[in-house]
């Protein structure tokens, strides 16, 4: 039985969205500027490239480099756009 909060919505749409979100929680931030706030009080800013194998890839313009971040070390991730 669907919770009352989802009354009137097609069940299929809800299930498809949950499956998409579960498979790629970073799908909505591809190619956006992000700030990853990490354990220990540090942060990394740059353009989100992709997520793969428990890591995210962030490209920084200054200096020109690519950073690979372990998602288990991220406290929260925010978009900067």
Q: Which CATH number is 61's domain given?
A: 2.30.30.100
- How would residue 18 be classed by pLDDT, with cut points 50, 70 and 90? very low
In-domain check, residue 10: no
**How far is residue 51's CA from residue 3's CA, in Å, rounded to a whole number?**
32
| pLDDT of 69 | 96
**How far is residue 76's CA from residue 64's CA, in Å, rounded to a whole number?**
24
In-domain check, residue 16: no
Tokens of 19: 């499956």
| Residue 77 · residue 63 · CB < 8 Å | no
Closest residue by Cα to residue 62 from 41, 45, 50 = 45
**How far is residue 28's CA from residue 31's CA, in Å, rounded to a whole number?**
9
Say yes or no to pLDDT of 19 above 60: no
- How would residue 46 be classed by pLDDT, with cut points 50, 70 and 90? very high
User: Domain range holding 46?
Assistant: 27-81
Q: Residue written as tokens 């313009």?
A: 61
In-domain check, residue 65: yes
In-domain check, residue 21: no
- How would residue 24 be classed by pLDDT, with cut points 50, 70 and 90? confident
Number of independent structural domains in the chain? 1
Tokens of 16: 């498809």
In-domain check, residue 12: no
């Amino acid at each position: 039985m669907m919770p009352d909060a989802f009354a009137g919505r097609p069940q299929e749409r809800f299930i498809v969205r949950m499956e998409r979100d579960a498979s790629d929680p970073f799908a909505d931030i591809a190619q956006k500027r992000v700030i990853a706030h990490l354990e220990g009080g540090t942060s990394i800013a740059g353009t989100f490239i992709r997520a793969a194998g428990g890591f995210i890839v962030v490209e920084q313009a200054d200096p020109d480099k690519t950073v690979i971040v372990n998602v288990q070390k991220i406290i929260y991730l925010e978009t900067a756009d």
